[in-house]
Amino acid sequence: MRNKSKLNDSLAELIKKFSKNDVIAEMEKEYQSVAAKNIPLALIDDNSFVKRVEIPPEVVDRIGKSISEKGLFNPLVVRPSGSHYELILGRKRYFGAKKAQLREVPAVIAEVSDEETLLMLLADTRDQREGNVVEMALVYGELAKRFDYSQSTLANLSHQSRSQVTNTMRILSLPDNVIAEISSGKLSYGHAKAIASLSDEEIEEVVRLIHEEALSVRQTEALAKSYSSVPPAAPTEADFLKKEFAASSVLIRKTSVTLSFKSEDEKNAFVKKAIRQ
């Protein structure tokens, strides 16, 4: 890349390049032969495509401590953005450097287009052992919306199946606060898939129950099915209990039954009814 724009690359060439394993590692080796420039940290802005993705505070603290003690040896990768620079690669190090209160950081300046920036982000997220699924969903969404990438092409680039790409992109339809929980690791990708087809109101209620009851993914899937707008062929036990006790949701386990209510008044009414019986 070395300060040369790839705007003239064909889609086929980009796919061939970015579908390879460890393409980011190869780029980083290439950057080692390019003199990094010390850039004031205040002039580097977070990446506009994935700035919604939260890096857990404990990760930032750990990296910040390491940078304070040992310095920042690997340069960030940035691109010009007006009078500033936009971050492309090295997001954890970027926030770690802020935590360490560095004034300047070494960075390699790459002249790349929006499309190749997104492909670099996709490859970086794909090749990380702990890649963030929300970041992948955001990159998929931008490539599909702005550059007409098909799900088949995205699957090829990310080494996933088309159904995996579809499920990942469905995360973007969830409420913002739920996306934030997935991004920070408070809610798993499995839980997110289980609730993606529900209404916003149902999603909020199920997420509350996931936290309160420590529901597994399988339990969440079963609970989500009980919210389906399509009635089952015959009433289930959960349906009967919801109707009988005016519960908003019912979770049936092997040795227990959990009833949830929309308000404390409804819960108290249930308790009074149970005592009278």
Whether residue 139 sits in one domain with residue 265: no
Residue 23's domain comprises: 11-170
DSSP 3-state of 164 = helix
Burial class (CB in 10 A: 0-12, 13-18, 19+), 66: middle
**pLDDT confidence of 145, banded at 50, 70, 90?**
very high
Whether 213 is covered by a domain: the verdict is yes
pTM: 0.72
CA distance 114 to 136: 16
Residue 77 belongs to what H/E stretch?
Answer: strand 76-81
| 196 and 111, same domain (yes or no) | no
Residues 194 and 246 in one domain: no
pLDDT tens readout for residues 96-120:
999 999 999 999 999 889 999 999 9
Q: What is the pLDDT of residues 159-172, one digit of tens each?
A: 889 999 999 999 99
| Helix (H/G/I), strand (E/B), else coil: 125 | helix
* Token code pair at residue 35: 């003199």
Same domain for 156 and 65, yes or no, is: yes
Mark whether 46 and 103 lie in a shared domain.
yes
Average pLDDT score, the chain? 83
Q: What phi and psi, each to the nearest 5 degrees, are found at residue 45?
A: -100, 150
